[in-house]
Amino acid sequence: MSFFTKDGEVRALDGVDFSIESGRTLGLVGESGCGKSVTALSILRLLPKHSGRIKSGEIWFEGTNLAHVSEAEMRNVRGKRISMIFQDPMTSLNPVVNVGSQITEAMHLHEEISKADANARAVEMLTLAGIPNPGMRLRQFPHELSGGMRQRVMIAMALACSPSLLLADEPTTALDVTVQAQILELLLDIQNRFAMGVLLITHDLGVVAHHTQEVAVMYGGRIVEHASTADLFRSPRHPYTKGLMNSIPVQQKHKSRISAIPGTVPSALNWPSGCRFRTRCPLADAQCAHESPALLPVGPGHAAACFKM
């Protein structure tokens, strides 16, 4: 997938490959600019019309290749079969429309449903999302709700048409920790109830460790490691994954230096040749500059893209 800007082509995603089973959660982790949000936007074909383009590849969803369906068919998928929740509930909700209308909008778009039935289902969804007094909340506007409540409304909206896949892009990053815990708990509960597949995009390894079954680590628009969550944390193989885990000051000795990854993420306009992590990697040598490592199996259900493992 590429963006075409005035400074040239930005190859935001490069050969990204993964699958999500119903009822399971795949975590997509990486730092800003690694392409994790663009991945979700590509699945829903929400890329900017003129500058963003999926150049090659396939996106199979329930037997259809989403990369090739018409825009009209795509509209039937969005919000109905696949929903998305974004990081910032304040900018993702319409400030001048009440909560009830925003939740029922998707139902009216996708289904023949009476106003009364839609409202009844909206109340049901809000109750499911853990919002007390849902009947009253329907008539309220986003500014009348707290951050945690807004994110719950976003979740109710996303679930309105019982989708089979949920793309959650940093759903709790803007929330306080005590509220984050409640929202993650809620997502898990809803997922189990509807056997929904979830793509959980986050930069927080703590969230990944406890709320996913499988993880793909992204760096520079590529997946560099893919494993079951238990495997990834028990034996990370890629130097970037290891570096990321060591950067979190949890196990380190108090006030000691953290073994940080040196340098900064290179620009997508100008990725390094070969392995994109080599400019920050302690193991890099000549081979890493010439060849691009493929994502190869290193154990059962565990793959990594590195020459130096």
User: Which range, of 91-99, 121-129, 154-162, 256-264, touches another protein by CB under 8 A?
Assistant: 256-264
Cβ at position 178, least distance to another protein in Å = 5
Cβ at position 12, least distance to another protein in Å = 17
Q: Binding to another protein (CB under 8 A): which residues in 123-152? A: 146-149
> Binding of another protein at residue 188 (CB under 8 A)?
no
d(CA 219, CA 157): 31
- The upper half-sphere exposure of residue 128, i.e. CA atoms within 13 Å in the direction of its Cβ, equals 22
Q: Which of 262, 282, 299, 301 binds another protein (CB under 8 A)?
A: 262
Amino acid identity of residue 201, one-letter, is I
Whole-number CA gyration radius for the chain: 21
Pairing of strands 52-53, 2-5: antiparallel
Q: Which of 164, 265, 307, 308 binds another protein (CB under 8 A)?
A: 265
How many residues sit close enough to another protein to count as binding (CB under 8 A)? 45
Phi-psi region of 125 (alpha: psi -120 to 50; beta: other; left: phi over 0): alpha
d(CA 85, CA 186): 14
Centre a 10 Å sphere on the Cβ of residue 215 and count the other Cβ atoms it contains.
Answer: 25
Cβ at position 16, least distance to another protein in Å = 20
Residue 246's SS3 state is helix
> Binding of another protein at residue 180 (CB under 8 A)?
yes
Cβ at position 88, least distance to another protein in Å = 14
User: Which range, of 84-92, 155-163, 199-207, 295-303, touches another protein by CB under 8 A?
Assistant: 199-207
Nearer to another protein, 53 or 203 (CB): 203
Q: Binding to another protein (CB under 8 A): which residues in 40-99? A: none
Cβ-contact 83, 166 below 8 angstroms: yes
Nearer to another protein, 62 or 176 (CB): 176
The full length of the chain comes to 309
Q: Which of 14, 15, 23, 31 binds another protein (CB under 8 A)?
A: 31
List the end-to-end C-alpha distance of the chain, in Å, as a whole number. Answer: 28
- φ, ψ of residue 184 in degrees (nearest 5): -65, -40
- Chain residues in the site for another protein (CB under 8 A): 31-32, 146-149, 176-182, 185, 203-210, 229-230, 233, 243-250, 252, 254-262, 264-265
